[in-house]
Chain A
Amino acid sequence: MELFSEVYSCYYNVVNKILNESFNKALSKKDINEIIEENAFQESALYILPKLISGEWNLLNANENTYTSKLSSSIKLPVTTLEKAWLKSLLEDKRIALFLSENQIASLKDYLKDVTILFNQDDFYYYDKFLDGDDYESGDYVNNFRMIVEALKEKKLVTISMESGKGNRVTGNYLPCKLEYSSKDDKFRVYAARIRYNKVVTYAIINLGRISKIEPCEEVFHDEINLDTYISNNKCKEPVVIEISKERNAVERCMLHFASYEKRTEYDEAADKYICYIYYDKKDETELLIRILSFGPVIRVLGPVGFLGLVKERVKRQWELLNQL
């Protein structure tokens, strides 16, 4: 089972698309070029197009300025052994219950019974995952998850009742826009627009585990939702700027630790230190703050002023606590 194989390559995939399209209708060079540009890498057209047109890859018939597939039918790669082995591993994951019923899981297991599993759940140990992850074995949770996925796919409103972070009970009509999973928290969160009288009242991020009930909603919402604007409005105005010293392998630890953030790093030769600019969501400011503090003195926050103030406040409070003893 090869993980790195041309069979899965972007070039094979795009040629497959061209052959299937040109089996149904003759394609011009421009059409072929468009398929390549949409589905392959930046410079792929420079390589794939001449190979197909010149006949070096003798897969197309040329008729004046159009091209048709030489094959007798459309082509599809079967699910390979590697892919089956991966699918079999997923059936052992507890989260699979979110997608498949017990009967479906049993039937798939039977279908894949002769395949050697790619990995077992017990092969991995997630040592710092939070312990209060979502309850994937709860029937209510699974139903809520499926209703959210369905509403999201069909762009339909649902009525959600939940407990807010402050313990208040909230009920409203929401249009789910995306479902976010955090591997650290082991939780799903729904990004949704709250709709009232056919208008977006607000956007909300709802912990799926806090939802007590979801029901279909009569209300219909026709406008397009612009979640990107909401997300970009939530982005920090200025990045947090940190200075990383070389001690305790801090540079490597820090670069990897903050790898999931959009960031930029430069080396300050004069100080022999690294300066890193981290862009973050304002709602996650506290999380970033405590992650930075956890590095202790090997990271120094340089700005912006507001964030630096938060660090100073905690350091000051810490100093006072230790000196009370």
Chain B
Amino acid sequence: MAKFSELIKNFDKIRDYMRDFFIYGFKARGDFNQKSLRTYDNERRRIECYLGEYIKWDTSKGSKRVFISLDSSKISQNPLYAAWKSKSFTDNDIMLHFYILDILKKNKSLSCESLTNAISEKSGICFEPQTVRIKLKEYDKEGILSSNKIGKNLYYSLCEDYLQKLSYCYENVIDGIKFYQEAAPFGVIGSYILDYENRENDIFTFKHHFVVHTLEDKVLLDILNAMREKRKIKFVNESKRLGLKNTIYGIPLKIFVSSQSGRRYLTIYNENRHRFINHRLDYIKSIEMLEACKDFDELREKLNKNLHKCWGVSFGGNSREEKFTMKIYIDEEKEAYILNRLYREGRGGKVSKIDKNIYEYSKEIFDANEIMHWVKSFTGRIISVDCDSKHIVNKFNNDMRRMHRMYIGGEE
């Protein structure tokens, strides 16, 4: 039987388990039927190793359910970053890492052969020059080393780009990293820097923070690379809920992020359907870069021009544009904060006073269905809603009837 290891070779495997434990948390061992029970046990044990204090158990419904429970506003660093810091390696990898850094710190520049000899002398272990060469090439690519060709030989030097070089603003940069390691995309990179600087975030905490986003960062990086190179992509889109797995082709243009619902989407232009479509980032499994797209800038411009009509992530159905209006009651003397909500949260919609204590909010949007979530947050003060799509109005009225039956007038 293979020995258990905390480390993993492939990030995608732990991504799904971590997501299930964190987002859902109601699944028991038997519900994880995509892989063997032993795989489940190993992944569960790994996640327990990484997240210790945040792992909780519940056996109240018979079977044991493991879940990750944390209040994101109380943490100074995303605990899920641990998964990114768990890449497996060989004995040679770790020894070469430290000997290469050590020897090149003392010697300005060495060829692979000289370095191999120096490592053998220092460690007493004979490494194959080919093994060392592969590692040197890898570190050259990662920017840890730089290479310079003299004659037929490549000479390697240590890149001495240390953060302390910026000593005149080192502390300011560190403070910035403490913030952005949670607030910026790919925050885990900031946490890598802090790890090696032996620094921790002791200043900031983060509210309305979706720590689970980090699990999509590998996919996100591939998408952004394609966007930077203005390339088309092909990807696998897997919805576990619908049990669907599709291969999709498109031109990646933007990442839509919700600071409220915790969802992130990739916007592509679908050439066959001649339209923009959003795909959930957490459903995307793998990205393949295809040929360059000559219309990239034009399409992005077109998308940008359409953004003000998106309430959320939908570009509408057949109607393409709908006018939505809502009238609400606001006690002007005591409830100025509700009026502020309309401006602050209304995404540029028009707010007008139509009578004492009565205000109207209106906006033209692609898909009025998306605005209803926000509209219902005003439950208790909505006088009326109106929309080109009458089924939206009917659905709202029906929802309010159901809510009344549910809470006031007996069982739903």
Contacts and interface: CB of A to CB of B under 8 A. Distances in A.
A82 B208 contact: no
A311 B193 CA distance: 46
B95 A59 contact: yes
A56 B196 CA distance: 24
B295 interface: no
Given A3-B221, A75-B105, A262-B71, A182 B142 contact: no
A119 to B, nearest CB: 5
Contacts, number: 394
A297 interface: yes
**Taking each of A7, A17, A70, A308, which has the highest tally of chain B beta carbons within 10 Å of its own beta carbon?**
A7
Interface stretch (B170-178, B230-238, B317-325): B170-178
A83 B192 contact: yes
B361 interface: no
A90 B184 contact: yes
A12 interface: yes
Interface string B177-212: 001101111101110110110100011111111111
Contacts of A316: 404, 407-408
Given A72-B102, A123-B227, A318 B403 contact: yes
A82 B142 contact: yes
Contact of B262 (A127, A132, A257): A257
Contacts of A101: 169
Contact of A294 (B188, B377, B404): B377
Contacts of A252: 23, 241
Interface string B150-170: 000000001111110010110
A77 B196 contact: yes
A199 B298 CA distance: 62
B400 interface: yes
Given A256-B23, A318-B400, A264 B67 contact: yes
Interface stretch (B108-116, B284-292, B343-351): B343-351
Nearest to B300: A122
A169 to B, nearest CB: 18
Given A86-B186, A95-B183, A319-B400, A293 B73 contact: no
Given A8-B85, A42-B52, A259-B210, A132 B344 contact: yes
A178 B254 contact: no
A179 B23 CA distance: 26
Given A57-B94, A99-B179, A132 B340 contact: yes
A300 interface: yes
A84 interface: yes
Contacts of B246: none
A79 B404 contact: no
B189 A3 contact: yes
**Taking each of A59, A84, A297, A300, which has the highest tally of chain B beta carbons within 10 Å of its own beta carbon?**
A297
Interface in B327-360: 329, 340, 343-348
A82 B73 contact: no
Contact of A178 (B175, B204, B256): B204
Given A123-B227, A259-B210, A264-B69, A322 B382 contact: yes
A125 B256 contact: yes
Given A90-B176, A127-B312, A131-B347, A249 B241 contact: yes
A161 interface: no
A127 B101 contact: no
Contact of A59 (B98, B169, B203): B98
Nearest to A111: B166
A86 B176 CA distance: 12
B381 interface: yes
Contacts of B316: none
A78 interface: yes
B49 interface: yes
Nearest to A6: B89
A2 B133 CA distance: 18
A66 interface: no
B407 A311 contact: yes
A178 B205 contact: yes
Nearest 5 A/B pairs, CB to CB: A81-B143, A314-B380, A99-B176, A297-B402, A6-B89
12 contacts: A7-B144, A16-B196, A70-B122, A82-B142, A84-B161, A87-B173, A100-B176, A132-B340, A259-B210, A265-B25, A296-B399, A321-B381
Interface of A: 1-13, 15-17, 19, 41-44, 47, 51, 56-59, 70-73, 75-84, 86-87, 89-90, 93, 95-96, 98-101, 104, 107-108, 111, 116-119, 122-132, 149, 152-153, 178-185, 189, 231, 249, 251-253, 255-257, 259-267, 269, 274, 279, 281, 290-291, 293-297, 300-301, 308, 311-319, 321-322, 324-325
Given A179-B205, A290-B379, 11 more contacts: A59-B123, A76-B196, A77-B144, A127-B257, A152-B203, A179-B204, A181-B179, A262-B71, A294-B373, A296-B399, A318-B404
Interface of B: 5-7, 11, 22-26, 48-50, 52, 56, 58, 60-61, 65, 67, 69-74, 82, 84-89, 91, 93-95, 97-99, 101-103, 105-106, 122-125, 141-144, 158-163, 166, 168-169, 172-173, 175-176, 179-180, 182-186, 188-190, 192-193, 195-196, 198, 202-212, 217-218, 221, 224, 227-228, 241, 254-263, 267, 307, 310-313, 329, 340, 343-348, 372-374, 376-384, 397, 399-400, 402-404, 406-408, 412
